[in-house]
Chains A and B, each alone.
Chain A
Amino acid sequence: MKVSVVLIAIAVVFLVVILEALRRRKLSEGYALLWISLGVGAFVLALARPVIDWLSRSIGIAYGPTLVFAATTVALFVIALNLTIHITRLETRVEKLAQEIALGDALNGSTSSEEAG
């Protein structure tokens, strides 16, 4: 099927881009792993149309690709939420860091710590 070929090509390009970013250290291994597993997932879905159809029928979805769209939307939503949580934490830390530097020695050794997460 032609569509499969296109999907596989996209998945492969996706994986190459991730590995290149990892090689250049523009991406940490943790995030790379997340994207690699998503890429592999996309690769499998591109090949396994019968699996998708069977899965969608078994949970009551008439048209298989709908399940793929729904799953993709949920995955992207979770990742986006996760990233905003991370950004929030980074903002908190940058503020704290700037304050500690600004206050300098006056507070050295007597500051309290943030949550240990």
Chain B
Amino acid sequence: MLAAVTTTVRPLLAILPALNEEETVGSVVARVRAELGIDVLVVDDGSTDRTAEVARLAGAKVVRHPFNLGVGAALRTGFRFAVASGYFAAVQIDADGQHDPSSALLLLQPILDGEADLVVGSRFSSGYEVGFLRGRGMKMLARLVSRRIGVQLTDTTSGFRAFSRGTLDMFARRYPSQYLSDTVEALLMAGAEGLTIVEKPAQMHDRQGGSPSAGSFKSAYHFVRLLLVIVMSPIRQPLPSEATR
């Protein structure tokens, strides 16, 4: 495979943020390693189960947060690791088995070809179905974000993404850590920085284990919060940029 050849020169990393995913993280790590042939970093975000141990046994590098900080913070830990270790590009994959590892190659390809800085895997182009209200909400977010950054996106809350070295550099320094901001606000940040954002269809499965991240009341609250983030984004001061090691 083409990717297998290029990885020796330009090392790639799969970043898997994980919170209590001991049932699935092992098989996801094994599949990513087998199908993509790239290094895997599991960022254990304060799990209370054997997530870190299972991941390590499956052959992943593991970093652990001493307590739960949220997906955004876990990702930034991953980005910092990627930058400090000199990876050329990275792909973010869910540890719960929702993302198909074979689609990860499709997300990485535009970055390896130098055509994109940030690639978002869209669940909708592959027939992913959500409830009516959630669907409406996600569409509205997609419309607002698309208009703001000038790129047509259908799935702004997707956590299946690939990052170029430059994007990793920026996100390692500052990344929104509030729940779901890591998806929506990160896109706004990338847009404001003038990075090239591309959306690709990505294969999604039903989750193999664990529980969904939020109930409907919480979802509604986070939706309103994200609207506030989007509305405020043009006049808001950028997140402070922090030094990385």
Contact = CB atoms under 8 A, between A and B. Distances in A.
Interface in B192-240: 221, 224-225, 228-229, 232, 235-237, 239-240
Interface stretch (A27-35, A40-48, A80-88): A27-35
B27 interface: no
B19 interface: yes
Contact of A30 (B20, B62, B178, B239): B178
A33 B224 contact: yes
Interface string A93-117: 1001100100000000101011111
Contacts of A49: none
A113 B232 contact: no
A2 interface: no
Interface in A1-52: 19, 22-25, 28-30, 32-33, 36
B51 to A, nearest CB: 9
Given A109-B64, A116-B68, A29 B229 contact: yes
Given A114-B46, A116-B20, A116-B47, A25 B239 contact: yes
Given A29-B225, A96-B66, A113 B47 contact: yes
Q: Could you say which interface size class chain B belongs to?
A: 20 to 34
A39 B245 CA distance: 42
A81 to B, nearest CB: 19
- A-side binding surface: helix, strand, loop or mixed? helix
A116 B236 contact: no
B68 A109 contact: no
Interface in B13-66: 19-20, 44, 46-48, 52, 62, 64, 66
A115 B48 contact: yes
Contacts of A115: 48, 67-68
A97 B240 contact: no
B178 A97 contact: no
Contacts of A30: 178, 225
A114 B67 contact: yes
Contact of A113 (B66, B224, B225, B236): B66
A92 to B, nearest CB: 8
Given A30-B225, A33-B225, A114 B68 contact: yes
B9 to A, nearest CB: 31
A109 B239 contact: no
Contacts of B229: 29
Nearest to B47: A113
Contacts of B228: 22, 29, 32-33, 36
Interface of A: 19, 22-25, 28-30, 32-33, 36, 93, 96-97, 100, 109, 111, 113-117
Given A29-B228, A36-B228, A109-B52, 13 more contacts: A19-B232, A22-B228, A23-B237, A29-B229, A33-B225, A97-B66, A109-B64, A111-B64, A113-B46, A113-B48, A114-B68, A115-B48, A117-B68
